[in-house]
Amino acid sequence: GAGVSQSPRYKVAKRGQDVALRCDPISGHVSLFWYQQALGQGPEFLTYFQNEAQLDKSGLPSDRFFAERPEGSVSTLKIQRTQQEDSAVYLCASSPQAGGREETQYFGPGTRLLVL
Amino acid sequence: SQQGEEDPQALSIQEGENATMNCSYKTSINNLQWYRQNSGRGLVHLILIRSNEREKHSGRLRVTLDTSKKSSSLLITASRAADTASYFCATDGASKIIFGSGTRLSIRP
């Protein structure tokens, strides 16, 4: 079946521009995670959804970052007034059950964001 | 902040040799996972080991876990060119998975 998909795959934004990154999880997966991965580093947790509920947003670096999953499937990560330090790969992952941290997470290919 | 730290940061070996990567973490865990990431792609889950397990095998992969030392190792036997990738350990934190900084493995032909 289809895996996790993300769009766009690449995004170049001018500093100050707003961007929206989309994640389509595996159908029926309850848990959805967003991660930020800087060059040469491991992914860092941003936020977690259980169905449509955002249960943990402790990793969002500032109030310029906002995520939603209104119908419990597709999720959007929005970054307002982008800054150069936002340049990174943004990874989305889903898992079948609630919680997700005790089971396999299935990752999308990521969106590579470059802020100029 | 990243709980897991992999060692070495980079490893280059000859095809056919075994590769060993280590991961150390700081707080108690319920499980530890290893993921692989090929250049420019998302992560692929390799193996999960629970805190009450000491060793686990999957194909050419062998993972050990020592909770007293808060460390884990990933052994890849009979390495192949396709094993070239970054490898990350991930531990379950209070409410999320925390990844280490990774080991970059290169397999020389």
Q: Which residue of A has its CA nearest to B101?
A: A42
Q: What is the pLDDT of residues B65-74, one digit of tens each?
A: 999 999 999 9
- The 3 state secondary structure assigned to A17-64 is CCEEEEEECCCCCCEEEEEEECCCCCCEEEEEEECCEEEECCCCCCCC
Question: Following CA atoms A79, A13, A44, B72 in sequence, which dihedral angle do they give, to the nearest 10 degrees?
Answer: 160
Q: Quick check: B2 pLDDT over 90? A: no
Q: In this complex, which of B43, B92, B100 lies closest to A107 when CB atoms are compared?
A: B43
Q: What is the DSSP string of B40-65?
A: TS-EEEEEEEETT-SEEEETTEEEEE
Higher pLDDT, B6 or B55: B55
What is the share, in percent, of chain A residues with pLDDT greater than 90?
87
- Bridge-partner residues for B71, per DSSP? B24, B66
B42, A110: Cβ pair inside 8 Å?
yes
* CA nearest to A6, candidates A114, A110, A113: A110
Distance from CA of B6 to the nearest CA of A (A): 10
Q: Quick check: A51 pLDDT over 90? A: yes
**Average confidence (pLDDT) over B47-72:** 96
Q: Quick check: B60 pLDDT over 50? A: yes
CA dist., res. A69 & res. B17, Å (int): 45
